[in-house]
Amino acid sequence: MSASLKARGLVFAYGGQRVLDGLDLDVEAGEFVAVLGRSGSGKSTLIGTLAGLHLAEQGELRVGDRPVRGPGVERAMVFQQAALLPWLTARSNVLLAAQAAKPRAARAELDACVQAMLETVNLGSAGDKYPPELSGGMRQRVGLARALSTDPQVLLLDEPFSALDALTRATLQDEFERLCVEARKTVVMVTNDLDEALLLADVVLVLREGRIVRRWRIEAQRPRRPQLATDRGLRLLAREIAAELVGQDARREVSSRVPVPGETLLDMRQVHKQYETRRGRQVVVEGIDMSVRAGEFVSLLGHSGCGKSTLMSIAVGLVEASSGAVTMAGRPVEGPGLDRALVFQSGGLLPWSRVHASIRLAARQAKLRAPSADIEAVVLRCARLVGLEAVLEQRVSELSAGMRQRVAVARAYALDPRLLLFDEPFAALDSVTRAELQDVMIGVWAQSGCGALLVTHDIAEALYLSDRILLMTDGPNARIAEEIRVPFERPRSRASLEEDPRMAELKQRIVDFLDHHAKQG
């Protein structure tokens, strides 16, 4: 059974600053609503308030015709991270929720409900496995089964697929679309992915400064995935929504400089990495041959667990290869060095440090004997390149996620490295901030003329940024099975790439590769 969800005048503040500012929301019974917004717009606060995890200071929330305050079994939430109890099996995690929702039900009835929910999410045979034994996608399926087991009138989703690789995300999106159509559940989902919103939602909303500012109804027929890349109406709608997210006054310049590939920097030959575990020897990657030249941008793309981050760690010098040769500009890699700089997914910054000090720390490390004036010039140049001039005296803890990643990129550039390495640096950011920082990344890379190696789950990101994309098979025993040379000239424009038929063809080629190797595994 589904019910409508209505909010009137919701107000919620942190430290006196309003995050929700008189928000109104109307969701009809059986309707799927997606909420988009930039980082800091209040999306997670909104979904937490709708779930009763945050209590609004003002306003009213109704499910159907009944006012609600605090959590309730009529609403269920699926989190970005599945939040399962690791000491309980998948079946027991789902059972725990079913028992809470139906405390008087007989055990046989509950067991039947749990099994039905696991089968609904295609986990019927995995109920006795523990969360650490499951992949990220399987854990999210358990989280969804847990939510469905309570038979909620309203289902609330907080970016449930954002941390998954491209194929797993697409598979779960398609399964979830099918479930929602069949059950006609009332759903509210916050997401950073515009294409995901267009794929799943009946209505798309944009949240800005704690209020809903725009609303679109999606009339395209389901299933929509085949239409996303080709339907002109959906692509025009995507541009309109993206423009609203960016804002009318936003301006973003992409570097027009085009680096010329030069000498080979990073070179791996027959690299093999294995670990000794309680269950014996596990081979993570084997027979890896790859290289990155100066002025070249290369991406590693593959499923979760295929060894991408292991290869990145080997390249940086944080992990030693079990066998094979790893060189940097012809010299063996024997540990970390200032010729390589890594930007982590979470930034890896000191939260108590000011932005200026964070960049200065890297600049001083690279130039130990340089005069203070020279170091200051490096800091200002790096800050200007990534748009941080106005926040140099702010503490890292006071910045948004997107701004913290700008600091991380500036810090890496301040080392004056020959090779920049990026380990999924924008995976947790909203689509607009992600696009902005992709352009920042391209600017830093083009300005320096260094090599770049990116690990990513995002097919569109890889195609927009890269000269070459290396596709990895599933692990264990993962290898690089295919190389794609990206044919688009630089500088690149997202609008022109969307219109280029080769873009859709390359996306499909990569999806087919991932799908093929997932089925083989």
Give yes or no for a contact between 292 and 419, defined as CB atoms under 8 angstroms apart.
yes
- Does residue 273 share a domain with residue 164? no
Give yes or no for a contact between 478 and 284, defined as CB atoms under 8 angstroms apart.
yes
Q: Which two tokens stand for residue 244?
A: 């609203």
515: which residues sit within 8 A by CB, 6+ positions away? 167
Q: What is the CATH number of the domain that holds 293?
A: 3.40.50.300
Q: Is residue 202 part of a domain?
A: yes
pLDDT the model gives residue 1: 67
Q: What is the domain extent for residue 502?
A: 264-339+417-520
pLDDT digits 0-9 by tens, 406-435? 899 889 989 989 999 998 888 767 677 778
- Does residue 430 share a domain with residue 466? yes
Q: Is residue 258 part of a domain?
A: no
Q: Is residue 494 part of a domain?
A: yes
Q: How far apart are CA 273 and CA 314, in angstroms?
A: 9
Give yes or no for a contact between 300 and 306, defined as CB atoms under 8 angstroms apart.
no
- Does residue 422 share a domain with residue 361? no
Q: What is the 3-state secondary structure (H, E, C) of 180-249?
A: HHHHCCEEEEECCCHHHHHHHCCEEEEEECCEEEEEEECCCCCCCHHHHCCCHHHHHHHHHHHHHHHCCC
pLDDT digits 0-9 by tens, 177-219? 887 777 788 899 998 888 889 989 999 999 988 889 999 999 8
State pTM to two decimals: 0.69
Q: Which two tokens stand for residue 182?
A: 């069949």
Number of independent structural domains in the chain = 3
pLDDT the model gives residue 256: 54
pLDDT digits 0-9 by tens, 332-366? 999 999 999 998 877 788 888 999 999 999 999 88
- Does residue 205 share a domain with residue 83? yes
Q: How far apart are CA 171 and CA 155, in angstroms?
A: 19
Q: Which two tokens stand for residue 396?
A: 């890292």
Q: How many CB atoms lie within 10 A of CB 182?
A: 9
- Does residue 440 share a domain with residue 385? no
pLDDT digits 0-9 by tens, 116-170? 888 888 788 888 888 888 777 788 888 888 988 888 888 898 888 876 766 677 7
